[in-house]
Structure formats: structure tokens, C-alpha cells
Structure 1
């Protein structure tokens, strides 16, 4: 068994124009002062990580890791959630997702996609330079507008969507394999990979690629009413990243899983700060420890009610207190008989 690494924190929800969130060194000090020892870093435009530089310059990568090391921090993973989303975009969402790309690519979906594919490949190389073995991303989505089958979906529609998704991701996954890094898809509504069934369908399309791994975030399963503990039992061998995020689901006679187009505060299913929702984190941390999960426990803060800085402040001790320092010996070793193989056979009458 392995002891999980952490606590870490994903910076995507905190990076901004005001100090200390506007520079890597100051946000690193802020996180370290709260008790975090790892940072999951978003990449691309507007972030602290330029992937074009990071993929080719060991010096640049060493500067980033060195800045964090000054505050006792490590990089947990790099993230290309936004770029991964742009690998596969249904035209219905073109205008809304244009904001994820550089301004000069907006309104040019083919060029935007090519840019995104290159960005994710660069992230694989940058991860290797930083000594990382896992990377956080999204799959993108071509079939999502057809999630609920009314009118019924034409025969072959979903199959073709996943075949195309596989064609787009297989060359990217090969680059991750060349660099010894796992691509960890966050299973998330809005992505074609949003549950176990869709992940299995995708795996079939990429030939069971060894680098097509998972970022486990139980909050998304609460909102979909999936069994997030059984999910670990089924897919633990592929889980290589972990977002520690809470959620609650309180349906009523007005709305349920779909949310009634309401804002987050009024939806039956909503994300919450750690400890304020319904996720059984004791069971999750126990399962991940038992299954030798090799990575980090990283806070992703999203809450409809609480201030983000309060969520971050509370998150570090919450994660630290849930990490199980695994035992090196069995609890009942004191009562061992010391018998050898020959004695065992004698006990069995053999």
C-alpha cells in the first residue's frame, strides 16, 4: 500500500489580477502558508506556464520548480483542461468555447483545434521535463448535445462520435507514452468521457491505450447520482490523479439531476467546499490507499456559497487529516505463530 501525497491545490480557480494571485512566487507563498505542499498548475494563455517554453527548455522548467521549492512546494501535475476541451468541440458550442483559445484563433475552429492538440502534446513534454508522471485534462465532446435520446439518436451517431474522438486523441496519447506520462481525463458532465461507460467506449477506440488514464473527482458522480466508491473498485488501475472536491444532491419536486436551468445556488446538485457536502471522503481515501494509488490528493475548490479563500484555508487540513499513513505491518503480527512451511503442512494433515 502507498500513502497518498498531499495536500495539493489546483490553482485554476485562484489565479487572477490581484496579489497574491497574480504571480507564481506570491501565490506559491500563499498556498504554502495555508499548509499545501503541492500545486497543480493550469497552463496556456493567462497562466504561469508557457507550454511552448516548457516543452523545449529545461532551464525554464527548472525555474518554475525552483520557485515552488523555495516555499517547500512541488508541482503535482500540469493541467490542460481548457486545451483538452478544444480537442473536440461540437459546432453548437463553438462560440462559447472560443474564449478558451488565443484571440487570433477565435472564429476559426479548425485552427483552434490544431492549436489545442499541439498544446496538449507540448504539455506531455513539459511534464517530463518537470519530472511528472501524470497530467490532468479533459476529453472534449462531440456527442454531448445528443445525450438524452429524444428524438431517438440515428443509428451509428454515438459510435462515429467516439471513433472520431479516438482518432483525435490516439496520436496525442502516443506522445504522452513517448514521454512516460499518463494523460488523466477528468470524468465530467459536458465531456464525452463523463462516466464509466463512456470511458470504456473511449478505451475501445484507442485500443486500450496504457496512457489513457483517469482523474478521479467524486463531486461529478454525486451530481450524476453514480456510485463513486464502486467506480474506484472498477477503475482503480487507471486512476492516476485525484481532485478532492465535495458536492451535495438534494432533489425535490421541482428539479433533480438536470437542474432546471437554475443557477448553482438553487440547483439540487451543487458543488460545495470540503466537509460541507455529502461525499464520504474517509471511504475514498481508504480505498485509494488500499489500491496503491500513486499520486496526489489535490483540492479543486468550487462552491456555490463559500468564499474561495475560506475554502482554500479549510482544504489543506481537511486533506491532511484524511490522508492515511499506511501501515508497514499487519495489526495482528504480534500474535504470529512463527510456523514455517513444513509446520503448515503438518497442521493441514499433509
Structure 2
């Protein structure tokens, strides 16, 4: 059995212009002081990492690893959530998602998609240089505007959307395979890959590609009213990344799963800091230990109420307290008896 590694921290929601959130070195020192052991690093526009350099320069990657190691930290995974989103964008979202791309590409969806595709390939190579086994990303979405079947969808619409998604991602997944890195999609509303059924559709579209994997985040499943514990039973072999994020779902007479266009604080489903929501993390960490999850438990802080620094401080303790140090032997080994084949047959009356 294998003990989960952690706690880790996804730093995307914390980066800023003021110390200690302004440089990777400062953030590493801050996170280490809170008890974190690793950082998940975003790589999009405005991040601390240049993927073009990281994909080609071992010295550059070693320097990033060294900045974290100086504070007793490791790189958990690299993230291309923003770039992955841009691999597939429905035209209805072009303007809103343009901010995820370099300014020179805005207003040019084809060039933006090519850039995003190349970013993912660079991320695969950079991950390999850093000795990482998994990578965190989004799938993007072509069919999301049609998620609710009204008006009735024309025959073949969803099938064509996933076929196209497969055509766009298969060459990227091949680069991940060449690099020896799993590509883990965060199953997230707004993405075409947002639950088990859509992940299965995608797997068919990419021919059950060995590197197509899942970033497990139970908060998105709770808000969709999915059995997030049963999900681990069903898909554990494909789960390669883990965001530890809490949520609550409090439906009322006015609003429910779809949220009524309300702000986060007024929605029935809200993200919460660890321990403030409804998710059974004891059950989740038990299943992760049972199935020998091979990666990191990484906090992604998103909360409608609590200050992020408080969420980060409490989250490190929460994750550490939930990581199960797996047993090296069965609890009843003390009663074990040595037997041979002949004795076993005798016990069975054979």
C-alpha cells in the first residue's frame, strides 16, 4: 500500500503583486511556513514559469526545483488549466476566454487554439524535465452551450463535439505519452469533460489513450449531485491528480443546482474552505489509500466566505490530519499460522 503525499498547495488563487505572493521564492517560503510540502504551479499568462524555456532547458527546470527545495518543498504538478481551456472554445465564449491568451492572439481564435495546443505539448516536456508523473489541465468545451437538451439537440451534435475534441487532444496526449507523463483533466462544469459520462465519451474519442487521466476534485461532483465516493471506486485507475476542495449544497425553495444566475455567496451550491463544507474527506482519503493513489493531495482554495490566507493556513493542517499513513501489515497478522498445502487440504477434509 502507498501513503498519499502532501499537503500540497495550488498557488493560482494566491499569486499577486504584493509579498509574499509576488515571486515563487516568496510564495514557497510562505507555504512552507504553513506546513505545505509541495506546490502545484500554474503556467499560464502572468505565471512564474515560462513553458517555452522549461520544455528545452534542464538548467531552468532545475532552478525552479531548487527555489522550492530551498524551502523544503517539491513541485507537485504543473498546471495548464487556462491553456487547456483554449484548446476547445465555443464561439459564444471567445471574448470571455480571450483574456487567457497572450494579448497578441486575442481576437484570433485559430491562432489562440494553436498556441494553446503548443503550450500543452511544452508542458508535457517541461513536466518530464522536472521528474513529474502527472499534469493538471482542463479539456475545453465545444458542447457546453448545449448541456441542457432544450431546444432538442439535433442528432449527432454531441457525438461530433467529442469527435472533434478527440482530434484536438490525441496529438497532445501522444506527446504526454512520449514524455512519460499522465494528462489529468479536472472534471469541471463549463468543460466538456465534467463528469464520468463525459469522461467515458472522451476516452472513446481518443481510443482509450493510456495518458488520458482524471484530476479528482470532489467539490465539483457535490455541486452536480454526483456520488463522489462511488466515483473513486469506478474510475480510480485513471485518477492521477487530486484537488482537496470542500463545498456545500443547500437547495431551497428559490434556487438549486443551476444557481439562478446568483453570485457565489447566494448560490445553493458553494465552494467552501476545507472543513467548512459537507464533503466526507474521511471517506475520500480512505478510498485513496485503499486504491493506492500515486500522487499528491493538493489544496485548491476557493471559498465564498473565508479569507484565503486563513483557508490556506487551516487547509495544510486539515490535509495533514486526513492523510492516512498506511499500515505495513495486516492487523490480524499476530494470529497468522504457518501452514503447508497438505495441512490446508486436511483442514478442508480433503
2:160 corresponds to which residue? 160
User: Quick one: distance in 2 between partners of 1:268 and 1:82?
Assistant: 26
Structure 2 alignment gaps of length 5 or more:
none
Q: Could you say which residue in structure 2 is the equivalent of 1:337?
A: 337
CA distance in 2, matches of 1:241, 1:200: 18
Provide the residue aligned with 2:146 in structure 1: 146
Whole-Å separation in 1 of the counterparts to 2:155 and 2:118: 33
Distance of 2:294 and 2:180 partners within structure 1: 15
Q: State the Cα deviation string for residues 22-66 of structure 1 (Å, max 9, x = none).
A: 101000000000000000000032111100000000000000000
CA contact (8 A) 2:44 2:100 kept: no
Could you tell me which residue of structure 2 aligns to residue 170 of structure 1? 170
Per the normalisation by structure 1, the TM-score is 1.00
Task: Tell me which residue corresponds to 1:288.
Answer: 288
In structure 2, C-alpha distance between the alignment counterparts of 1:254 and 1:237, rounded to whole Å: 39
- 3-state DSSP class of the match of 1:77? strand
CA-to-aligned-CA distance 1:65-87 (integer Å, 9 cap, x gap): 00100000000000000000000
1:45-124 maps to which residues of 2 (within 5 A)? 45-124=45-124
Residue 107 of structure 2: SS of its match in structure 1?
coil
Could you tell me whether the CA contact under 8 Å between 2:98 and 2:107 is conserved in 1? yes
- Partner secondary structure for residue 302 of structure 1: coil
For 2:45 and 2:193, the matched residues in 1 are separated by 25
In the TM superposition, residue 344 of structure 1 has moved relative to its aligned partner by 1.1
Give the whole-Å Cα distance in 1 for the aligned partners of 2:252 and 2:264.
Answer: 15
Q: Tell me, in whole angstroms, the C-alpha distance in 1 between the residues paired with 2:142 and 2:303.
A: 28
SS at match of 2:112: helix
- The 3-state SS of whatever aligns with 1:158 is helix
Q: Distance in 1 between matches of 2:49 and 2:345?
A: 62
Q: 1:125-153: per-residue Cα shift (whole Å, max 9, x none)?
A: 00000000100000000000000011100
* Counterpart for residue 198 of structure 2: 198
- Unaligned 5+ segments in structure 1 are none
Residue in 2 aligned with 1:307? 307
Q: Distance in 2 between matches of 1:283 and 1:44?
A: 33
Rounded to whole Å, the distance in 2 between the matches of 1:317 and 1:41 is 21
Shift, 1:338, TM fit = 1.9
Counting only pairs closer than 5 Å after superposition, residues 230-269 of structure 1 correspond to structure 2 as: 230-269=230-269
Q: 1: distance between equivalents of 2:248 and 2:44?
A: 32
How many residues were matched structurally?
350
Deviations 1:136-176 (A, max 9, x none): 00000000000001110000000000000000000000000
Partner of 1:186: 186
Q: Which residue of 1 aligns with 2:215?
A: 215
Distance 1:144 1:226 in 2: 18
CA separation in 2, counterparts of 1:137 and 1:146?
22
